[in-house]
Each structure stands twice: as C-alpha cells, then as structure tokens.
Amino acid sequence: MSEEEKTPEAAPKQVAVKKGRKKGPIAAAVVAAIVVVAGAGLWVWHEQPSFCAAICHIPMDPYLETYEEPAGAEGVDKWNNAVSNTNAMLAVTHREAGEACMDCHVPTLSEQVGEAVSWVSGNYVFPLMEGDLNSLTEASGMDADQFCLKSGCHVTADGADLTTRQQLIEATADLSFNPHVAQHGQRECSDCHKGHRASVLVCADCHNEAQLPEGWITPEEENQLIIQ
C-alpha cells in the first residue's frame, strides 16, 4: 500500500476521535436506547416458539417440530417415533389452545443463562434428558398439580373449571376406565401425560379393560420407543 492510499483513512479517524469526545454523552444515550429497544425486542422474540429452535437448532428442533404438528393427525414424537394421533402430545393440544412454549416451560433467568452456556459450550447430552412436570414447573414456585390445575386452564365443555384432582376424577368419570382414580396411590400427571411424545396409559399393563385414548400407548409400547 502506498502512503497516499493510507492518508485518507487516517484523517477521518482523528476527526472521529475528537467528535466522539464531544458527543460522548449523546452517543452513550443513543447506545443505551438501542440496548433497551433491542433488549425488549429480543425478550418478545424470545417468547416466540420459533426462538428456541432458531437459536439452538440441534437440541430444540424436535420440540418445535412436535409442537407445530397438525392436531388430530398422524405424526412423530420428539425422537421421531410414529404417533398415530398427535392429540396424544400435550404440546400439540396446548398449541391448539393458543399456548406458547413458555406457558408450559416457566422460564427463569438463571435457567436460561445456564441453557445458553450449555449450548455455547456444547456441554449438554443429546437427546436431552427428559424432565418431569415438577422440574418443568419448579420455576413458577408451583408443583405440577398446582400448575396444571390452575384456574381457567382446563374448563370442560359443561363449564367446570378443573382445579382439583377430585374434579379431574369427575371429569373423566364417564370413561369406561377412569384413569384419574388413585386406586393404588397417587401418580404424577406426567406419568401419563407427555409433552412431546405419545402419552402413556400406565394402568394398561394390568387393566385390559382400560381403553386407550386415540394416539396413546401402553407402557409396553413405551418401552419399545427408540430414543435418538
């Protein structure tokens, strides 16, 4: 490079430094404003279902894909096993009801920072470890029962707001086999209801009379799922 070519570059830089000093406070205010606006935008974007998968494809894609599958149709679970009716996956039925990822996955800042660090460092196992509902709802300060039986979430066709296990029993009392009866001790909701794979009727091992809702599977079929 010749001297001539260098000079035009060098000159504006000096000017820029001088200008920078004078306008320091203004520049700082502009930067602060940009950070605030971008931050707010990022927060809104981060609440969209597409965010998780856009940022960290590899672990998140299967979760977004299951969430976006058409309801009441054949589909696949997060591990790519066939699901005969996607209504057996909570992520699908809740999307249909207008819920986003974070309506179920209560986010905390420390959890998200931890996830970001794991993703950037590649320090996670894939497929991801499966959490149960209690771990999912921990950040909300509620256990799975309190969280899933929140008022206004599960309102039956005849207007009953299901907020207790007793009401849940009544809501499914018309089934030939009532899965919510705690005959042999209380089960976790997530023992049966699954987010991103077919739900499992854990009672079907012994109760042949227990009818599988469409798309649901037996514990035996669950054991044959391929985890990948």
Q: Angle at Cα 49 formed by Cα 142 and Cα 92, nearest 5°?
A: 75
Using alpha carbons, select from 159, 226, 157, 162 the residue that is nearest to residue 189: 162
Contact between 194 and 83 (Cβ < 8 Å): no
Q: Angle at Cα 54 formed by Cα 49 and Cα 56, nearest 5°?
A: 105
Residue placing its CB nearer to ligand HEC in the complex, 6 or 43: 43
Cα-based distances in Å from 220 to 41, 67, 116, 210: 46, 25, 36, 14
Token pair 């990822």 is at which residue?
101
CB of 43 to ligand HEC, least distance (A): 16
Q: Is the peptide bond before 127 cis (omega within 30 degrees of 0)?
A: yes
Residue placing its CB nearer to ligand HEC in the complex, 9 or 158: 158
CB of 34 to ligand HEC, least distance (A): 28
CA dihedral 65→103→199→186, nearest 10 degrees, is: 160
Residue placing its CB nearer to ligand HEC in the complex, 75 or 195: 195
Residue placing its CB nearer to ligand HEC in the complex, 141 or 206: 206
CA end-to-end distance (rounded Å), the chain: 56
Residue placing its CB nearer to ligand HEC in the complex, 27 or 96: 96
**Residue with the shortest CB distance to ligand HEC:** 195
CB of 67 to ligand HEC, least distance (A): 4
Residue placing its CB nearer to ligand HEC in the complex, 71 or 136: 136
Residue placing its CB nearer to ligand HEC in the complex, 49 or 75: 49
CB of 114 to ligand HEC, least distance (A): 13
Q: Which residues sit at the interface with ligand HEC, rule CB under 6 A?
A: 49, 52, 60, 63-64, 67, 90-91, 94, 99, 101, 103-105, 128, 130-131, 133, 136, 145, 148-149, 154, 156, 162, 165, 168, 171-172, 179-181, 183-184, 187, 189-197, 201-203, 205-207, 213
CB of 76 to ligand HEC, least distance (A): 13
CB of 61 to ligand HEC, least distance (A): 9
Q: What is the length of the chain?
A: 228
Using alpha carbons, select from 61, 64, 62, 71 the residue that is nearest to residue 92: 71
Rg (CA), the chain: 26
CB of 120 to ligand HEC, least distance (A): 16
